[in-house]
A and B are shown apart, each in its own frame.
Chain A
Amino acid sequence: MNTNTLAAALVGFMLGGLTVSIAAELEADDSPRPAHGSSSQPYVER
């Protein structure tokens, strides 16, 4: 196989890995947020 083709495939593979890992990080940042009004502190009326 042509060296340039292999090198291009490797670069593509690494860029793909980088893209997937960034997407995974962003998704992890988004997910575990408590919704508004769901605080663990009980609401006390004064």
Chain B
Amino acid sequence: MNSRNSMAANATLHCLTGCAIGEISGLMIGTALGLGTAVTIALAVGLAFLFGYTLSTLPLMKAGLGFAAALSVVFAADTLSIAVMEIVDNAVMALIPGAMDAGLVNPVFWLSMMIALTAAFVAAFPVNRRLIDKGKGHALTHQYLHGADHGADHGDDHAPTQTSGAS
């Protein structure tokens, strides 16, 4: 895997982790409380964005950025990636028969969740790859994290980012 693909895979996994925490929490709360499909999806999407942004903001603040500055970088870097993940993830969950109505003790819920998150990763990877090629997306956060404690969170195999346009 070349270094940009590796960087895109890391960025996608990073986004997916935050999304998955929010998505799983939202769907668990929704199904446990017996909420309707639309409300459950809205809750899951909201929590996915919240956790996705949080997971990206914290390392930037650790690297020395203020909260507002970190948040604005994260908004620019992660919004498209998280949005693609959420659309694909919820579409797959809605398309699998019985997935949205399955309770937490129903294997259909967990299998659907795994399939949906895998599909979300596959869909978001090319988006992140393209954003990195353009010097956007995870490349933006990389600029701030480079030189800070970056290796622990993102691996050490990142290529220098290109910030001047498409390759």
Residue total for A at the interface (Cβ-Cβ under 8 A): 15
**What mask results when residues 41 to 75 of chain B are scored 1 for a CB within 8 Å of chain A, else 0?**
00000000000000100000000000000000000
Contact B17 A18 (CB under 8 A): no
**What mask results when residues 4 to 25 of chain A are scored 1 for a CB within 8 Å of chain B, else 0?**
1011001001100110111011
User: Is the C-beta of B35 less than 8 angstroms from some C-beta in chain A?
Assistant: no
Chain A contact residues, majority secondary structure: helix
Q: How far is the CA of A20 from the CA of B24 in the complex (A)?
A: 16
Contact B105 A10 (CB under 8 A): no
Q: How far is the CB of A10 from chain B (nearest CB, A)?
A: 5
Known: A2-B153, A3-B10, A3-B13. A10 touches B109 (CB 8 A): no
User: Is the C-beta of B82 less than 8 angstroms from some C-beta in chain A?
Assistant: no
Selected contact of B21 from candidates A4, A10, A18, CB within 8 Å: A10
Contact B110 A21 (CB under 8 A): yes
Contact A21 B106 (CB under 8 A): yes
Selected contact of B105 from candidates A4, A14, A24, CB within 8 Å: A24
Can you sample 6 A-B contacts with CB below 8 Å?
A2-B152, A4-B13, A6-B55, A7-B17, A10-B24, A14-B110
Question: Which A residues lie at the B interface, using CB under 8 A?
Answer: 2-4, 6-7, 10, 13-14, 17-18, 20-22, 24-25
Supplied contacts A3-B13, A14-B24, A14-B110, 16 more A-B pairs, CB within 8 Å: A3-B14, A3-B153, A3-B154, A4-B13, A6-B21, A6-B55, A10-B17, A10-B20, A10-B21, A14-B114, A17-B109, A17-B110, A21-B105, A21-B106, A22-B107, A25-B105
